[in-house]
């Protein structure tokens, strides 16, 4: 049956909006806390019960509201932050849509207590209807108390998570916001217990360390009026999911697949394909170069110049790794320290970041690079496929991993040196493989193997890369057929080789590694060299910190 068109009642509109803005208690907390930040609060205390389903209370010491605004703010599209559409281009506040409070109020029991230094107001609302307005006693600031969220939205209620996981979401949301606002003190109580507390501080790194623990490397990059700064984790600490990834655009938490990809590309082959690096990145862009208003929760961003954003982020990370020397790679014993950082080297133009606290991030003088000319570094011992080098310090080099890196980088060069084989090696493909024989020969070229698909099931190899002995060609092709990707094929092939090394060979490998762009990782992102200190050996053998 077709019904007559009617305008929706404001209550219904608010409830629909609630469906967009409010997914769960955590999204309500996000809206309320962002309002407190916009109100210039320096202290924000959040309290929840049953993961926020029973109670969410956000208290701030911000500018408060007068009586009129305290009532007004409950109406849809009531905002003090936006007047004209042009303002949308220059907004610096967190909120601007003016729909969060109205939406939350329409699906809960809400109470606002606010004092702006002159008048105090208490407004009580029952699922969207104001039930009382009066004065209250409190210091300057605003407290918003929400009970029984989604009480009148059974559909939403049905899909809510358990109190524990919804509490965990609230914590994540609050900590994410806290990362971008180190100057504000935050706390979270759940069931009367303090679960998170962070005092205000001047240095974003201090806040980051408190919340995320130590992240190894600091990055910073400027490209015209675009800038990025932050911290990234060591490749070997990458996770199996995105839980360690935090990105912000002008202090707003966002998720952008573009940035994710730029980060991953920045790690390049240092990172295992299946892993997600941990990072904390703050992008600063001119407000008119992006649009944050594409998602009701302002989580997505649309960039005017995507390729510039990509380059900025990718470069910040790749440059950091390129400028790194193995001594920046701390051994596991040092990981608990704040990591040293080539801050100066990275800086192209001074960035007015928040001021640094002394002693937080140590600046290290530039270090000698790991691979010194062989005159000063000598291979002095072999332990299987590991070589011990002596120079200004001792280091252990994983020769198989090093060969993989050399092979990988040499193969990538366009006109890499190849050894023409004395006689083409013929390789028989399976019927299945033969279907893509032409493609196989093309992708083999990319790893330095000159191969021709002869039709039928035959492949002929005419030349092999320098890293490959004639007798190894068919084994390598077999491995490549399984892996299909250069990094994995080369890495696994080199590591599976049964090889005995001599000291001379080790020295040669070290010299060739010295010419590589990335001397510290195999193509799959595993570390291949470590500095060794005598004290560490003592500790390792005795298991005692004092030795």
According to the binding rule CB under 6 A, does residue 221 interact with ligand ADP? no
Pairing of strands 43-49, 185-190: parallel
**By CB under 6 A, is residue 73 in contact with ligand ADP?**
yes
39 binds ligand ADP (CB under 6 A): yes
Q: Decide: 473 and 421 in contact? Cβ < 8 Å.
A: yes
Indicate the residue among 106 and 385 with the shorter CB distance to Mg ion: 106
Q: Which residues contact 327 (CB under 8 A, 6 or more apart)?
A: 364, 367, 368, 370, 531
Nearer to ligand ADP, 79 or 169 (CB): 79
Strand 418-428 and strand 450-455: the pairing is unpaired
User: In angstroms, what is the minimal distance from the CB of 92 to ligand ADP?
Assistant: 13
Task: Kindly write down the DSSP assignment for every residue of 67-81, as one continuous string.
Answer: HHHHHHTTSTT--SS
Q: Which does 13 bind (CB under 5 to 8 A by kind): ligand ADP, Mg ion, none?
A: none
Interacting span for ligand ADP (CB under 6 A) from 65-73, 176-184, 434-442, 529-537: 65-73
Q: Which residues contact 543 (CB under 8 A, 6 or more apart)?
A: none
* 69 vs 289 by CB, closer to ligand ADP: 69
Q: What is the DSSP letter of 489?
A: H
**Does residue 36 touch ligand ADP according to CB under 6 A?**
yes
Q: Which is nearer to Mg ion, 35 or 187 (CB)?
A: 35
Which entry of Mg ion, ligand ADP, none binds 52, CB below 5 to 8 A by partner kind? none
Nearer Cβ to ligand ADP (292/404):
292
Both structure tokens of 458: 């035959």
What are the C-alpha distances in Å from 491 to residues 376, 409, 461, 486?
29, 12, 21, 8
Q: Which of 38, 171, 164, 27 is nearest to 107 (CA)?
A: 27
Question: Shortest Cβ distance from residue 56 to Mg ion (Å)?
Answer: 14
Binding mask 64-103 for Mg ion (x = CB under 5 A): -------------------------------x----x---
| CB-nearer residue toward ligand ADP: 73 or 404 | 73
Residue 27 sits in the site that holds ligand ADP (CB under 6 A): no
Asked if residue 245 lies in contact with residue 260, where contact means CB atoms within 8 angstroms, the answer is yes
Indicate whether 35 belongs to the interface with Mg ion (CB under 5 A): yes
User: 335 to 394, contacts with ligand ADP by CB under 6 A?
Assistant: none
Helices of type H across 97-184: 100-106, 154-158, 163-180
Count of residues that bind ligand ADP according to CB under 6 A:
24
Binds 27: which of ligand ADP, Mg ion, none (CB < 5-8 Å by kind):
none
- Residues 65, 232, 254, 371: which binds ligand ADP (CB under 6 A)? 65
Q: Is 494 in the site for ligand ADP (CB under 6 A)?
A: no
Q: What angle do CA 198, 200, 205 make, to 5 degrees?
A: 80
Contacts 24+ apart (CB under 8 A), 171-177: 171/195, 171/196, 172/26, 173/26, 173/27, 173/29, 173/30, 173/33, 174/29, 174/33, 174/46, 175/211, 176/246, 176/253, 177/30, 177/33, 177/34, 177/37, 177/253
> Segment near ligand ADP (CB under 6 A), from 35-43, 189-197, 223-231, 518-526?
35-43
C-alpha–C-alpha distance, residues 81 and 95, integer Å: 7
Q: 53, 67, 97, 519: which one contacts ligand ADP (CB under 6 A)?
A: 97
Which of residues 73 and 341 has its CB atom nearest to ligand ADP in the complex? 73
Does 145 bind ligand ADP (CB under 6 A)? Our answer is no
**CB-closest chain residue to Mg ion:** 95
List contacts with ligand ADP (CB under 6 A). 31, 35-36, 39, 60, 62-65, 69, 73, 78-81, 95-102, 142
List contacts with Mg ion (CB under 5 A). 35, 95, 100
């Amino acid at each position: 049956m077709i019904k007559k068109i009617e305008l929706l009642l404001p209550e219904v509109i608010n409830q629909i909006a609630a469906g967009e803005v409010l997914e769960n208690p955590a999204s309500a907390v996000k809206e309320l806390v962002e309002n407190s930040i916009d109100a210039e609060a320096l202290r924000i205390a959040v309290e929840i019960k049953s993961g926020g389903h029973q109670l969410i209370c956000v208290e701030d010491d911000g500018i408060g509201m007068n009586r009129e605004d305290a009532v007004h703010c409950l109406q849809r599209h009531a905002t003090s932050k936006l007047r004209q559409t042009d303002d949308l281009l220059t907004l610096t506040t967190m909120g601007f849509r003016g729909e969060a409070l109205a939406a939350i109020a329409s699906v809960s029991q809400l109470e606002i207590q606010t004092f702006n230094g002159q008048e105090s107001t208490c407004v009580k609302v029952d699922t969207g209807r104001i039930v009382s307005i009066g004065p209250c006693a409190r210091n300057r600031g605003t407290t918003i108390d929400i009970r029984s969220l989604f009480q009148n939205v059974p559909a939403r209620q049905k899909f809510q998570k358990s109190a524990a996981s919804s509490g965990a979401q609230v914590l994540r949301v609050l900590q994410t916001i806290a990362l971008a606002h180190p100057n504000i003190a935050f706390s979270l109580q759940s069931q009367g217990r303090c679960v998170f507390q962070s005092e205000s501080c001047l240095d974003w790194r201090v806040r980051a360390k408190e919340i995320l623990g130590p992240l190894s490397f600091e990055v910073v990059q400027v490209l015209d009026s675009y800038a990025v700064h932050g911290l990234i984790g060591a490749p070997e600490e990458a996770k199996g999911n995105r839980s360690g990834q935090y990105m912000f655009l002008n202090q707003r938490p966002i998720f952008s697949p573009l940035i994710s990809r730029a980060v991953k590309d920045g790690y390049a082959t240092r990172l295992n394909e299946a892993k997600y690096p941990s990072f904390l990145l703050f992008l600063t862009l001119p407000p008119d170069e992006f649009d944050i208003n594409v998602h009701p929760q302002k989580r997505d961003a649309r960039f005017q110049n995507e390729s510039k954003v990509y380059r900025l982020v990718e470069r910040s990370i790749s440059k950091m790794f390129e400028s790194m020397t193995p001594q920046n790679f701390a051994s596991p014993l040092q990981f608990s320290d704040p990591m040293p950082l080539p801050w100066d080297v990275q800086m192209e133009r001074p960035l007015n970041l928040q001021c640094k606290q002394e002693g937080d991030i140590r600046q290290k003088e530039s270090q000698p690079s790991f691979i010194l000319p062989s005159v000063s570094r000598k291979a002095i011992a072999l332990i299987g496929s590991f070589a011990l080098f002596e120079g200004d310090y001792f280091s252990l080099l994983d020769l198989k991993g090093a060969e993989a890196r050399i092979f990988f980088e040499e193969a990538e060069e366009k006109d890499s040196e190849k050894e023409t084989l004395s006689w083409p090696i013929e390789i028989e493909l399976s019927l299945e493989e033969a279907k893509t024989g032409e493609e196989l020969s093309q992708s083999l070229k990319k790893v330095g193997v000159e191969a021709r698909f002869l039709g039928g099931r035959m492949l002929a190899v005419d030349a092999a890369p320098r890293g490959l002995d004639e007798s190894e060609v068919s084994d390598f092709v077999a491995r490549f057929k399984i892996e299909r990707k250069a990094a994995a094929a080369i890495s696994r092939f080199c590591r599976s080789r049964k090889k005995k090394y001599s000291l001379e060979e080790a020295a040669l490998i070290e010299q060739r590694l010295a010419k590589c762009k990335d001397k510290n990782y195999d193509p799959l992102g595993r570390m291949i060299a470590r500095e060794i200190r005598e004290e560490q050996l003592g500790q390792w053998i005795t298991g005692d910190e004092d030795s």
